[in-house]
Amino acid sequence: MEEQVVNLIVGGVVSWTMAFLMLRKSFPKRSFEFCNRTVSTLHATLAVILASLSVQDWMSPISPLASKPSPRQARALAVTLSYLIYDLGCGMFDDKRVNVDNVIHHLVSITGISAGLVYQKCGSELVAALWITELSSPFLHMRELLKELGYRDTDLNLVADIAFAVIFSIARMVGGPYVTFKTVSADNPFIIKAMSLGLQLVSAFWFYKIARMVKYKLTKRTASKKTA
């Protein structure tokens, strides 16, 4: 791994941590989770932008396969790797976000990105996976932020729920398997292939949970209207 990339990762971990601490100090009445999700929203937005800017050819975004990450790709991956390290550590102090599937997701992602940067392989595939996985994240966090801001069970919150579910489903259950297939079939290190499959399995599990959530929300809303 190049020294410049290592410095970016270390600097990123420090920066995300400082951003969280500043939010905690600026908004003392807001919860730990609120501040952490605000940082997560900032990262997701930045990650999608950096990943988009690093695509070499939008006519064939996942190419060249099994290639060395370009400087822009390495930057996008390093920024997200630093965030994942920060968020994994930060999440350990938040009882609401410590769950097995989230920890597995972070460890799989950290391992996969680290392997790509160390082996200098899989740049295009990793950036594509980054773009796909972070595309729905702002809506994921917005759902919870709106609840703390007093918009629980409102039309706005329902819109955020549905937007998240739709984007997640299309990105991770349509685009995800395609990127996984490309990653596994290309000449990439075994650990990257394994992490790609692991990430897709986590996505499938989350898709199941999201489908149940949407069904519950719509059923609850229909029942409320009938009662009214």
Output the tens digit of pLDDT for each of the chain's 228 residues: 788 999 999 999 999 999 999 999 999 999 999 999 999 999 999 999 999 999 988 888 898 999 999 999 999 999 999 999 999 999 888 766 567 888 889 999 999 999 999 999 999 999 999 999 999 999 999 999 999 999 888 889 889 999 999 999 999 999 999 999 999 999 999 999 999 999 999 999 999 999 988 888 778 777 766 665
Q: How many CB atoms lie within 10 A of CB 215?
A: 10
Q: What is the pLDDT of residue 226?
A: 63
CA dihedral for 22, 28, 30, 32, sign (positive or negative): positive
What is the 8-class DSSP label of residue 27?
-
Q: Are 141 and 40 within 8 A, CB to CB?
A: yes
Alpha carbons 184 and 96: distance in angstroms, whole number: 34
Q: How many CB atoms lie within 10 A of CB 18?
A: 12
Q: What tokens appear for 10 in the block? A: 């270390």
Q: Exposed, middle or buried by CB within 10 Å (0-12, 13-18, 19+), for 226?
A: exposed
Q: What is the pLDDT of residue 227?
A: 64
List helix spans (H) across the chain. 3-26, 32-54, 71-91, 100-119, 123-134, 137-146, 155-170, 176-185, 190-227
